[in-house]
Amino acid sequence: MTAQSTIPAERVLDLLAELDRSKQLDTALLEQRRAYRQAAAVLAGIEDLSSLKPVEPASSKTPADRLLGDDLVPIKMKRLSGKVMLSADVRRQALSELISSDTLSAALEANPKERTGPVQVQFECYLTGNAKPIEQQTLSELEDTLQALVWLDGVPISHPSLDDVRRRLDYLRLLAPFESLAGDDVFRGRQSELDSLRSYVGVLPPASLLARLKGTALSWLQPPQQPALSVFGPGGVGKSALVARFMLEHTRLPEAVRIPFAYLDFERPTLDIGKPLTLCVEMIRQLQLQFPLSGGVDSLLEFANSRKVADANQVRAAHNVLADLLGIIEGRLGPRPYVVTLDTFEEVQYRGEASAFPLWDMLIELQKQRPFLRVVVSGRAPASSLRLADRPPNSLEIGSLDSSSAIAFLGAQGVEDPQLAARIVGQVGGVPLSLKLAASLVKRDGVDEKGVRNLAGRSSFWFSASNEMIQGQLFERILGHIHNPQVERLAHPGLAMRRITPEVILNVLNVPCSLAIETIEEAQSLFDELRNETALVMVHQDEDAEELVHRPDLRRIMLKLLVQKCPAQVREIHMRAVNWYAKRPGLRARAEELYHRLQLGESVDKSALGDRSVRFSIQASIEELPVASQLLLASYGLEVSAAILERASHEQKDATVAARIEELLPYGPTSVAEASRLAMPLLNQQNGSGIIYRAAARVALQQGETDEGLRLVEQGLSVTIPGNDTLETLNLLRDKAWAQRRSQEESSILGQLQEYALRHQMAAAIVQERAQSYEMTFGLPSSQPRGRDAEAAVFEISGLLAGLSSVEIWGLVPALGLVMQPLLTVIPTVLGSFCPKLAEDGGPFQLASFSDGSTQEALKMLVSAAMTASLNANMVVEFAQSFERLCSVWPYRVLSVQPPYGSRGSRGLAEAL
């Protein structure tokens, strides 16, 4: 047996004493950490952790960073002062301990130097019970309150609920743009315009409304229907400020006299006029913030946001949602006016106003049921296509401020001397943008006895009295205040580019702007400096990186200055941009390359604008382009100003109207009726062109007026054939042949169509002629074609189909329905080349969005079958049935109608460009 070792009793006592001292030390450290936690718990952030003092100083000298350790998190929010702060869970526990021990005051007094910043102020107000009611807090105070209450959530201290704070915060954020544009500190004048707006809506000035409320209970009476109101004027004149002021006035009134509104700003990429459910969601959200309506409104918002609705018929679902919303307003608030404001409507007009017609149809129908609906459309050009109450919109043109209002406006901008303000108004006029620019120069540069120094005013021989030229001079002066000469050159002429990135600075702008840089790091440094010039540029977040764009209210001015001052540099920038973007992949690069080619005056083919997103991108900048390029684009159907069109030839004007009519054809009866109104005046003029006769004929045929449509086709042919316009003759013959399908005249017409189609080698026209000829010769077989001639015809059509694009196939949908069954019976392998075109991303079959649910469902089933059939030959029968079903519900009586891109196409622009 091995002897066991023994430990002396003295050693045992020493070990026990050491263990006891260790426990005492651990307890002391825990107490010390608790004291530090409590000190940190009342601080929004800690700048100098090494100087942090605990609530109850102890003898231990262990530093705070070692004791707190993982309790701390780094501060990333700018509004929070300091470098670190206590984590939320630890903070709540420490605050609860302070409250239970009644030592909050001691904790606050422990570190007075760390009690800084706006969040700390609000946090302390709640800790000490001195916070203002949330209804009295400003937006910034409420944002700080929200952070403070997140920390206090679950802590036994009196404070409003987080939901109430968030709701109030959302409401103030809704009003923030209105306050910025038209708050008491900045808005002046416009009383007559406000009265016009009040008269249209059907409300009195706020003071009168309040007086009526004091006298007796206000009873809202059902008003009559009213047309829309079109508020229009040039950029910078104050349209949005006027509308914002009107709505802001009503947000300040008691609920009994306040009118509900929806403000939809189409400069926001999340709002798409062709995707009405997105508008519905925003309208419901805003109503919830304005009035404490619960129950039905919450359910309606949940329904509008549901996936089931998003996948269904957008227009019908949106109609139902808006109908329910208007019913809730009338039931809860009475028939008081409900004002829907569509602001920055030029963004819609740039992309083609035709996409708004599904929304117009809804508003027209809904106002008949709820006459209190009012619609205000605000943009640079009048909006004429919305016909509420069977009338075009009333017009309210916004011009310059009168002299006294302009002087008051300058006072709000910091020019407090009335005499100086009057001199400036005499120099620059009463446009708010000009006044704002002038005020910024006065603050920077001072003035002389005439007003803004070195400014050629309205009396100058060399300068036009136009507002644009005055604004241009002011803008040029602002450029002179950029301290870095490289950045100044980058801003002007470098901002001839629509988008600037460090790569563009290095590869495109380096030489023309004399930047003399060699590395991407140098380009990034200049990019960062230019980004700080917030008066000139804004930051846009691309998918991959940031980019700078010129402020839209100044870009038009800057580009005119560029062309006048340094045309050679501008041309070199455009040439280098073309070379740069031509080598880059993607739709964005294609749009930028096309933009710079047009700036150079190059003639681009219409097919270059075939992609919807590229077309939208060019339309958004069309006013920047040379006149010749604008006229070319107008002939392709893009929107240009009336002033530009006045310079166009008779044929160009007709081509522009015809293209606009084609844009209107896909969107239903109201849209087609608008197309008819566009065509009628031109039909009455002498020497009408073939293109306008064809456009009017297509409208009549689409409306079911076959005899009138064919009469117009014949009038068009009587112009194009003698004029040797063979292409337009071919187009007219295509419409005539389809309109007279299965008639006695079909055979002779198809002979003419064949001649012109072969002359132009237009594959789509040849396919149409072959499909109609097949039906006329062989009938509509449901099985194997009989005879060699029938099979030969099928093989010929199959070969032609291989060369068609997805857009051309779209235009032939009902014609291809005549031959689809025999085609797939004889040559099922044709699906290998045919189906991928139907399923291609960005193609018409993927992006089209019909308002009719049955057509949309048939289209969806066809695309699904195309994706399957192209991989599996056994699905040929299902594909044929899907194609036949789509043809049976096809809503167009003419061929080659553009796809109804209304919702998904314009959304693609917001995401891709």
Say whether pLDDT at 910 is over 50: no
Each residue of 236-291: pLDDT tens digit? 678 888 888 888 888 888 777 888 899 998 877 778 887 888 888 888 888 888 88
Each residue of 98-140: pLDDT tens digit? 888 888 888 888 898 888 888 989 898 998 888 889 888 888 8
CA distance 386 to 345: 12
**What pLDDT is recorded for position 712?**
93
Residue 874 tokens read as 């056994």
Provide the CB-side half-sphere exposure for 270 (13 A, CA).
6
pLDDT band at 463 (very low <50, low <70, confident <90, very high): very low
**What pLDDT is recorded for position 374?**
92
Give me the amino acid identity at 412: A
DSSP 387: -
* Element containing residue 230 per DSSP (H, E): strand 229-232
DSSP string, 628-687: HHHHHHHHTT----HHHHTTS-HHHHHHHHHHHHHHHGGG-HHHHHHHHHHHHHHHTSTT
Per the listing, tokens 């920077």 go with 444
Residue 581 tokens read as 């973007």
R_g of the chain computed on alpha carbons: 35
**What pLDDT is recorded for position 870?**
55
**What pLDDT is recorded for position 458?**
38
**What pLDDT is recorded for position 138?**
87
Each residue of 679-715: pLDDT tens digit? 888 777 766 788 999 999 999 999 999 999 999 999 9
Give me the amino acid identity at 98: L
* CB-based contact 383:393 (threshold 8 Å): yes
Neighbours of 128 (CB within 10 A): 12
**What pLDDT is recorded for position 750?**
93
pLDDT band at 784 (very low <50, low <70, confident <90, very high): low
Helices marked H in 429-551 — which ranges?
A: 432-445, 467-479, 485-491, 502-504, 520-531
What is the mean predicted confidence (pLDDT) over 21-25?
49
Say whether pLDDT at 461 is over 70: no
DSSP string, 541-596: E-SSSEEEEE-HHHHHHHHHHHHHH-HHHHHHHHHHHHHHHHTS-SHHHHHHHHHH
- 195, 401, 414, 429 from 189: Cα distances, Å: 11, 7, 17, 15
Residue 294 tokens read as 């619960």
DSSP 891: -
**What pLDDT is recorded for position 209?**
63
- 422, 669, 854, 882, 891 from 858: Cα distances, Å: 66, 21, 6, 7, 12
**What pLDDT is recorded for position 508?**
94
Burial class (CB in 10 A: 0-12, 13-18, 19+), 42: buried
Give me the amino acid identity at 652: Q
CA distance 574 to 583: 15
CA distance 308 to 97: 49
What is the mean predicted confidence (pLDDT) over 736-740?
95
Angle at 71 (CA atoms; ends 70, 73), nearest 5 degrees: 85
Residue 17 CB partners (closer than 8 Å, separation 6+): none
CA distance 849 to 93: 55
Give me the amino acid identity at 578: V
Say whether pLDDT at 912 is over 60: no
| Three-state SS at 2 | coil
**What pLDDT is recorded for position 462?**
26
CA distance 111 to 133: 28
**What pLDDT is recorded for position 77?**
77
Q: Flag the least confident range among 47-56, 124-133, 463-472, 561-570.
A: 463-472
Say whether pLDDT at 783 is over 60: no
Say whether pLDDT at 4 is over 60: no
| Three-state SS at 229 | strand
Residue 603 tokens read as 């003639």
CA distance 142 to 912: 35
**What pLDDT is recorded for position 452?**
56
DSSP 506: I
Say whether pLDDT at 893 is over 50: yes
Q: Flag the least confident range among 24-38, 39-53, 102-116, 155-169.
A: 24-38
Say whether pLDDT at 80 is over 50: yes
**What pLDDT is recorded for position 468?**
54
**What pLDDT is recorded for position 740?**
94
Residue 420 tokens read as 């100086």
For strands 229-232 and 394-397, give the pairing: parallel
How many angstroms from the chain centroid is the CA of residue 398? 24
Backbone angles phi, psi at 319, to 5 degrees: -60, -45
pLDDT band at 904 (very low <50, low <70, confident <90, very high): very low
Neighbours of 102 (CB within 10 A): 8
**What pLDDT is recorded for position 903?**
41
pLDDT band at 456 (very low <50, low <70, confident <90, very high): very low
CA distance 35 to 97: 10
DSSP string, 48-76: -GGG---SS--S----HHHHHGGGEEE--
Share of the chain above pLDDT 90, in %: 18
Q: Flag the least confident range among 435-449, 653-667, 806-820.
A: 435-449
Each residue of 651-683: pLDDT tens digit? 777 888 888 899 899 988 899 999 998 888 877
* CB-based contact 351:906 (threshold 8 Å): yes
Nearest residue to 742 (alpha-carbon basis) of 780, 712, 794: 780
Handedness of CA 438, 495, 642, 199 (dihedral sign): negative
- 144, 406, 550 from 156: Cα distances, Å: 20, 54, 51
pLDDT averaged over every residue in the chain: 81
**What pLDDT is recorded for position 460?**
32
pLDDT band at 909 (very low <50, low <70, confident <90, very high): very low
Backbone angles phi, psi at 548, to 5 degrees: -105, 140
- 94, 410, 563, 595 from 619: Cα distances, Å: 60, 35, 20, 10
Each residue of 334-354: pLDDT tens digit? 888 999 999 888 777 766 677
**What pLDDT is recorded for position 116?**
87
Nearest residue to 189 (alpha-carbon basis) of 379, 397, 342, 410: 410
**What pLDDT is recorded for position 474?**
60
> b/e map of 5-24 (b: 16 or more CB within 10 Å)?
eeeeeeeeeeeeeeeeeeee
Each residue of 195-210: pLDDT tens digit? 888 888 888 776 666 6
Residue 799 CB partners (closer than 8 Å, separation 6+): none
**What pLDDT is recorded for position 736?**
96
Handedness of CA 692, 696, 702, 707 (dihedral sign): negative
What is the mean predicted confidence (pLDDT) over 804-808?
91
DSSP 394: E
pLDDT band at 502 (very low <50, low <70, confident <90, very high): very high
